[in-house]
Structure 1
Amino acid sequence: MSVQEEVLEKSATETAEEEQNQIIVFNDDVNTFDHVIEMLIKSCDHDALQAEQCTLIIHYKGKCAVKTGDYEDLKPRCTALLEAGISAEIQ
């Protein structure tokens, strides 16, 4: 494989990874830390530490990408967050 072919292959792989969608959760003045943590564990398969860290990022930065993946996988997860009163969207 030539250097040019390797560069093209790497570029194609990176592009495919970049096309992954993300669930973004936004900060609000309504939900408690415990509620957001609980919902990230239930909806996004986070462990307790990961959910707590994401919740702190949401609080201090205003938003956080909490899950990355295919749209079809993210849609029901995002819907569960929205139904729990958490401000979230897929980007």
Structure 2
Amino acid sequence: MNWDIIKATYQEQYEEDVLTLSGEGCTIVLHNDDYNTFDHVIESLVEVCKHEAEQAEQCAWITHFVGKCEVKKGSEELLKSMYRKLKVRGLTVTLEK
């Protein structure tokens, strides 16, 4: 078992949780559109945001019915990269502070 990877994963999650609780950081918001399929949105959230498939599907349904969904919270530094990758995949997302 690679303990460095496990430690890094928990450290990243801890830092995201601290930023969220302190009110700092950013949020990636997914917006509904008429051209991305559910499968494409789910696949993108799993690959880019590291969501579980079930979580990604829930975000897709919320976005479909509500019009938008917060899909990731964390530091601006971490989220800028994810935001760009989601945009390249054609998703309608915003990065909000």
TM-score, structure 1 normalization: 0.81
User: Aligned residue for 2:58?
Assistant: 53
Q: Which runs of 5+ in 1 are unaligned?
A: 1-12
State whether residues 20 and 73 of structure 2, in contact with CA within 8 Å, keep that contact through their aligned partners in structure 1.
Answer: no
Q: 2:48 aligns with which of 43, 48, 57?
A: 43
Which one of 78, 81, 84 corresponds to residue 86 of structure 2? Answer: 81
- Give the ranges of 4+ consecutive aligned residues of structure 1 lying more than 3 Å apart after TM superposition: 13-16
Q: Percent sequence identity over matched residues?
A: 46
The answer for the alignment partner of 1:70 in structure 2 is 75
Larger Rg: 1
SS of corresponding position for 1:54? helix
Q: Which runs of 5+ in 2 are unaligned?
A: 1-17
The number of aligned residues is 79
Contact 2:19 2:75 in 1 (8 A): no
The residue identity in structure 1 corresponding to 2:73 is: T
- What RMSD, in angstroms, separates the aligned Cα atoms of the two structures? 1.8
The letter for the 1-side match of 2:45 is: L
Per the normalisation by structure 2, the TM-score is 0.76
Which shifted more, 17-26 or 78-87? 17-26
Offset at residue 20 of structure 1 (A): 2.2
